[in-house]
Structure 1
Amino acid sequence: MSPAQVPFEAAVRQVSQPVLDYLVRYVGDIGTAEDLLQETLIRMSRGMAGFEGRASTKTWAFSIASRVAADYLRHPQRQPRTVELEEAEAVADPTGSIDERLVIDEMGACIRHAIDTLPDRYRAALILRDLQGLSAQQVAEVSECSLAAAKIRIHRARRHLKQALAGRCTFYRDPDAVFRCDQKQDASERAEQPTVGAR
């Protein structure tokens, strides 16, 4: 049976949990992610008849979910401050993903903030590749871009995330040897605190 012939109910069973995991990581809230999953499934249902199977059902679902989440976050009240990342130059295929023990603690405040500042295309690429485990080719299919562009997005998203974390967080290992982080004070917070010994 080709992907185009997969019954909708079977497609839902196949993709619902991975897509929900992706949306939770994308928007950072389980309740919102569940709502966006329902919208994703509605759009899948409407488009199932025209789905030609050029990509897997899972990849197609991630592509729809990415658009649904991006549409949601474009609302002015939901827009975090994003950084601008250049996408013009080609880069080599980046090797190695985010430290696995760091991913375990991915919803820490430092990491969540850094992910939230990424533009949509970089956020999607990072989550799909490093947290959902898709290949660079699959990221390209989901993002509807070339493989080279997908690799650039993954590379730049990883670089920004690491830079942002280094500036905002102090890393340490807890008693269970899990890699964790605490937010650093910014300059304004330090300025507001009284100096020891000051009168």
Structure 2
Amino acid sequence: MEGREQGIVIPIEARLARKALKGDQQAFAEIVGLYQDKLYHMAFRMLGSRQEAEDVVQEAFLRVYRNLDRYDEGMKFSTWIYRIATNLCIDRLRKRKATYSLDAESTEHEGLDGYAVIPSDDRTPESEMLLSETQRIVRQAIDTLPAKYKSVMVLRYLHDLSLQEIGEVLDMPVTTVKTRVHRGREYLRKKLERKL
């Protein structure tokens, strides 16, 4: 999956970005294939809306395509593309009206509030119900986090990025990331103590 250039290993994304910059549409399609689902899941976790997540992913790829010439190969491609998508999500969260209801019934799933339920493997109906309710409560709590904490919590706990990677994605010092993760956890802990 990696290429070599004068003894230097070049990650596949960097090679694809080079090709796409030269007009190779197939190379860009491969970049989309590599990141489309990852970015969608990250955006959905941050925004809680399928439509908004799809919009963010589309806008992120448009920005990537328009700015391929600005991609610094010294940076991991995943960091660069996550930064673009995360910033788009943060912008949307900031623009939301305060009247947005987290408990509003989803237009996509009749009778459910908009929080997705992770499919089960071999759980009993009773344990599934408890798990679903717990997941719903946790997701509700995450959705109430201020944007600056929500982004680090989603990247850390739902996408398993390291503190260093989050710092690169959000373009902030690791110490700031640590502080926001700590404060985000405290916020969630207090919120969940009241709910669970």
TM-score under structure 2 length normalisation: 0.67
Write the deviation string for residues 115-139 of structure 1: whole angstroms up to 9, x where unpaired. Answer: 1222222111001011101111101
Cα 1:135–1:76 shift into 2, 3 Å: closer
Cα 1:108–1:13 shift into 2, 3 Å: same
Aligned residue identity for 1:150: V
C-alpha distance in 1, partners of 2:80/2:134?
A: 26
Does the CA-based 8 Å contact 2:94-2:147 persist in structure 1? no
C-alpha distance in 1, partners of 2:90/2:186?
A: 22
Does the CA-based 8 Å contact 2:46-2:154 persist in structure 1? yes
User: Structure 1 residue 9: deviation in Å?
Assistant: 2.6
Report which stretch shifted further, 110-119 or 153-162. Answer: 110-119
1:135 is aligned to 2:162? yes
1:9 is aligned to 2:19? no
List runs of 5+ in structure 2 lacking aligned partners: 1-9, 18-27, 102-130
Look up the match of 2:139: 112
User: Structure 1 residue 70: deviation in Å?
Assistant: 1.4
1:63 is aligned to 2:91? no
C-alpha distance in 1, partners of 2:54/2:44?
A: 8
Aligned residue identity for 1:125: V
1:159 is aligned to 2:179? no
TM-score under structure 1 length normalisation: 0.66
Superposition RMSD on alpha carbons, in Å? 2.3
Does the CA-based 8 Å contact 1:11-1:57 persist in structure 2? no
Cα 1:6–1:116 shift into 2, 3 Å: same
C-alpha distance in 1, partners of 2:67/2:46?
A: 23
Higher normalized helix content (fraction of residues): 2
> What does 1:28-177 correspond to in 2, within 5 Å?
28-77=48-97, 105=132, 108-167=135-194, 169-170=195-196
The secondary structure found in structure 2 opposite 1:150 is helix
C-alpha distance in 1, partners of 2:98/2:68?
A: 30
Provide the identity percentage.
Answer: 29
C-alpha distance in 2, partners of 1:133/1:49?
A: 29
Does the CA-based 8 Å contact 1:139-1:150 persist in structure 2? yes
User: Structure 1 residue 152: deviation in Å?
Assistant: 1.1
Cα 1:160–1:80 shift into 2, 3 Å: farther
The secondary structure found in structure 2 opposite 1:53 is coil
Greater relative contact order (CA < 8 Å, ≥ 6 in sequence): 1
User: Structure 1 residue 156: deviation in Å?
Assistant: 1.2
Number of residue-to-residue matches in the alignment:
147
